[in-house]
Chains A and B, each alone.
Chain A
Amino acid sequence: MAVIETDGLTKLYGNARGIEDVTISVEAAEVFGFLGPNGAGKTTAIRTLLDLLHPTSGSARIFGLDSHRDSVAIRARLGNLPGDFGYGKQASGREALSLLARLRGIDGLGRADSLAKRFRADLDRPLGQLSRGNRQKVGLILACFHSPELLILDEPTSGLDPLMQEEFLALVAEERERGCTVVLSSHELDEVERVCDRVGIVREGKLIAVERLADLLGKTQSRNSVEVEFAEPVELEDVRAIPGVVGAKFAHPTLEEIFLTYYEGEDAQ
């Protein structure tokens, strides 16, 4: 059974762009990434799944439950890191964890301390005294400490240094091994490429592609790449000048290059 299923999920508000007709299915123990630039609708999609925004039309089911009517039961089984994490200035990470643990009916703080050690996070200082990156670490711990079945992470590596980004990617891989389903949004294409099983590309509120990452990379590579062996060293410009040869620089396209093909011509519009 799919962990998340949406059917024509649409959220429109005022003049601001929301999401339109989003239909996806995310399987158990899958890492699914929403990809898109800022303002594309990734956060709206996530907040609608979490019942923070009420859909204009369409529906979403999580664990087979209605995302609005059964929201409390759903949230008992998930962990969430909002985009631009904040919790106020006075409370420490430990105080926030203690409150969340009580709201979840958990004795103790689960694996919070081991995660704090792993991410070198300070749980005892007031959050207002922490840098953005260190606050983000606390946010990740708040999302993960109770070992949820589903993790929803909005721009999870925002503010993290490269070492902690690596640690985060390792954690996501471990969560998948544990059987946890992970949905994340990002515009950091490298991290998505490394950790996601499938991606949904969001453009102007619409989901314009949902594919397995391996298929997406393979399809684009077979269409655009070529291997040519020359007897002598050649300049790339000379290769490009050969009639019928296109895209020589795309021999090993990155996800970023693939992603940008979906946005070709947008600047001209």
Chain B
Amino acid sequence: MSSQLGALVGAHLSDRRRSLLAWGVPLGLWSAFIVLIFPSVEDALSKATRDYPPALKEAFGIGELTNVEQYLHAEMLSLIVPLAIGYLAVRAVASGLSGAAESGRLDILLSAPVSRSRLAAASFAATAVELAIVLALTVALTGLGSLVSGADLSLGSALAGYANVWPLALVFAALGMIATGFSLRTSVVTGSVAGVLVTMYVIDLVGRLDPDLSGIRYASVFRYYGNAIEDGIDPIAFLGISAAAVALAALGAWLFDRRDLAA
């Protein structure tokens, strides 16, 4: 019944068309701004970063800021984009499940011959597409910024850097689905998973800052995130995180299938 899945994904994206722009355009403009200003701040940045404490540079994955890719990673891809897109992922998946329950839409959809697990799968798939569109929009505006400024940004590298956020964010979408198995209140789902998102980021940060605590990084998915804009996408990490996200989403769909949907 792939037509059902297609219909549900299409409806989800149609409902969230404003959100696509509301997230993609500001992130893209911000990213484009970083690229735009790079030529004028390049020399000052190189001088400044040489004086940064090594631990700080290690923590935020900052090497020498001698090219625009390094600057984009330090300013956008090491903190802002993964946290923002991770949060967007939770909101998107919740809108298709707990949000639909709160608005009454879930009751209507479940009066049709569609299983709950298919509904959950559609919400996850639609979230994956939504994230891809937002990231593509961000890359497009970033590329535009590079063209205007002559910053000599490698579009392939930028694409790799932003695409690398996608599986990471899907993990948090999947955790959102699991949270929906326990609560149909969107505020509870987004709040709890946003807490996990920030906690995982902090765990990874602490693990990087203190070598004695580096073991705790294994408790965080950020451990496997890397620096794809400079190093390229690590296919094992990319596929591994994606597979973990799908497995967690399947668990979330199972929990959603088993729970009561009270009025």
Contacts and interface: CB of A to CB of B under 8 A. Distances in A.
B43 interface: no
B187 interface: no
A41 to B, nearest CB: 12
A72 to B, nearest CB: 5
B105 to A, nearest CB: 5
B108 A102 contact: no
Nearest to B263: A43
A151 B98 CA distance: 26
A75 B107 CA distance: 12
Smallest CB-CB A-B distances: 7 pairs: A86-B104, A80-B111, A76-B113, A102-B7, A103-B112, A82-B107, A88-B103
20 contacts: A43-B263, A47-B261, A50-B110, A52-B107, A53-B260, A53-B261, A73-B113, A80-B107, A80-B108, A82-B263, A84-B104, A85-B104, A86-B105, A87-B105, A88-B100, A95-B14, A96-B108, A102-B3, A103-B8, A142-B111
B102 to A, nearest CB: 9
Interface of B is mostly: helix
B181 to A, nearest CB: 13
Interface of A is mostly: mixed
B114 A72 contact: yes
Given A54-B260, A95-B11, A100-B111, 16 more contacts: A52-B107, A72-B115, A80-B108, A80-B111, A84-B104, A87-B104, A88-B15, A89-B103, A99-B7, A99-B11, A100-B112, A102-B3, A102-B7, A139-B108, A142-B108, A142-B111
B118 to A, nearest CB: 9
Given A43-B263, A95-B14, A102-B4, A78 B111 contact: yes
A13 interface: yes
Interface string A73-112: 1011011101111111111000110011011110000000
Interface in B234-263: 258, 260-263
Contacts of A121: none
Contacts of B8: 99, 103
A124 to B, nearest CB: 15
Interface of A: 13, 43, 47, 50, 52-54, 71-73, 75-76, 78-80, 82-91, 95-96, 99-100, 102-105, 139, 142-143
Contacts of A100: 108-109, 111-112
Contacts of B103: 86-89
A12 to B, nearest CB: 11
B111 A79 contact: yes
A13 B11 contact: no
A83 B260 CA distance: 16
A88 B107 contact: no
Contact of B263 (A84, A91, A105): A84
B105 A88 contact: yes
A80 B108 CA distance: 7
Q: Which of B100, B103, B107, B263 has the most CB of A within 10 A?
A: B107
B4 A52 contact: no
Given A76-B113, A99-B7, A87 B108 contact: yes
B15 A53 contact: no
A76 B110 CA distance: 10
Contacts of B258: 54
